[in-house]
């Protein structure tokens, strides 16, 4: 489990990721011909500026149809340029440059254009509702003195998305524990096959998503931990809707 110092390190890393997310939005707004690789390089510069480090994988920056790839990693061959009416997925994870500092990990959705399409708002709304239902369920369970298993929480999100007829497009686990050597920790996560209960003083992600092959995809990722008093503390920003970046 995390020490008090590690909790503080994680919270600070999450705060800095939130600042980076906002800076990336401003960068995109002022660079209308930027590309996935250029935004990715900008994120890495921001990590250095904010005193953060990450594992070997570069952050995920995906434009339009590339958002439909759950773990899209851009290269020179696939690199897409920004244009008007582009859906953007940003998945960033990093930790402080301190020994045994835990990772923070978040995903944010943007739309570069004049207005977010109603269809996108609707689909992303399903993702947000699935996320919120999981948080609500954890809080209710803890009030009863029950710390739910990861598989149970995964099922809550999955069942809700099935009710909305998009369950088939949720193609990965709900979340994972956060580690110190990698964003994926060694403890059980919020996964279909995780029978162990979630633990106090340990960070986890909640990251439901739906992906429509070669079209578009939507994911919301937040971090949380349960403190010693049994309170569920969300440490990353919680997205309420697709963030509009007005096209210039």
Give me the residue spans of the domains in the chain. 4-246
pLDDT for res 88: 99
At 103-127, the pLDDT tens digits run 999 999 999 999 999 999 999 999 9
pLDDT for res 91: 98
The fold of the 4-246 domain, in CATH, is Creatine Amidinohydrolase (3.90.230)
Angstrom distance (rounded) from CA 99 to CA 133: 35
Q: Do 60 and 79 contact (CB within 8 A), yes or no?
A: no
152 half-sphere exposure, CB direction, 13 A CA radius: 12
DSSP secondary structure string for all residues of 28-78: HHH-TT-BHHHHHHHHHHHHHHTTEE--SSPPEEEEGGGGGSTT----TTT
Six-digit token string for 110: 């943007």
pLDDT for res 193: 86
Number of H helices and E strands in the chain, helices first, is 4, 10
Read off the pLDDT of each residue in 30-50 and give the average, rounded to a whole number.
98
**Is residue 3 left, alpha or beta, with left meaning phi > 0 and alpha meaning psi from -120 to 50?**
beta
Give the E-state strand segments of the chain in sequence order. Answer: 52-53, 60-63, 86-96, 104-113, 204-206, 209-212, 216-219, 222-226, 232-234, 243-246
Angstrom distance (rounded) from CA 12 to CA 235: 9
User: Residue 56: pLDDT above 90?
Assistant: no
pLDDT for res 242: 99
At 141-170, the pLDDT tens digits run 999 999 999 999 999 999 999 999 999 999
**Confidence category of residue 11, pLDDT binned at 50, 70, 90:** very high
Q: Which burial class, exposed, middle or buried, applies to 229 when counting CB atoms under 10 A from its CB (0-12, 13-18, 19+)?
A: exposed
Read off the pLDDT of each residue in 46-56 and give the average, rounded to a whole number.
93
**Token match 């990698």: residue?**
182
């Amino acid at each position: 489990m995390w020490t008090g110092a590690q909790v503080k390190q994680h919270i600070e890393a999450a705060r800095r990721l939130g600042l980076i997310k906002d800076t990336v939005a401003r960068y995109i707004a002022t660079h209308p011909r930027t590309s996935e690789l250029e935004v990715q390089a900008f994120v890495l510069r921001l990590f250095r500026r904010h005193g953060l480090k990450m594992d070997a994988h570069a952050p995920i920056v995906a434009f339009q149809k590339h958002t439909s790839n759950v773990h899209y990693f851009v290269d020179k061959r696939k690199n897409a340029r920004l244009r008007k009416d582009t859906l953007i997925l940003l998945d960033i994870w990093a930790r402080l440059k301190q020994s045994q500092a835990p990772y923070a990990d978040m995903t944010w959705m943007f739309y570069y254009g004049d207005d977010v399409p109603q269809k996108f708002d609707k689909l992303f709304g399903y993702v947000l509702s699935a996320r919120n239902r999981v948080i609500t369920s954890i809080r209710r369970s803890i009030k009863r003195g029950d710390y739910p298993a990861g598989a149970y929480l995964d099922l809550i999100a999955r069942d809700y998305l099935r009710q909305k007829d998009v369950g088939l497009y949720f193609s990965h686990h709900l979340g994972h524990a956060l580690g110190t050597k990698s964003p994926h920790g060694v403890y059980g996560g919020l996964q279909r096959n995780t029978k162990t209960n979630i633990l106090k003083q340990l960070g986890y992600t909640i990251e439901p998503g739906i992906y429509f092959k070669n079209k578009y995809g939507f994911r919301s990722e937040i971090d949380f931990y349960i403190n010693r008093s049994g309170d569920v503390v969300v440490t990353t920003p919680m997205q309420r809707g697709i963030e509009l970046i007005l096209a210039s």
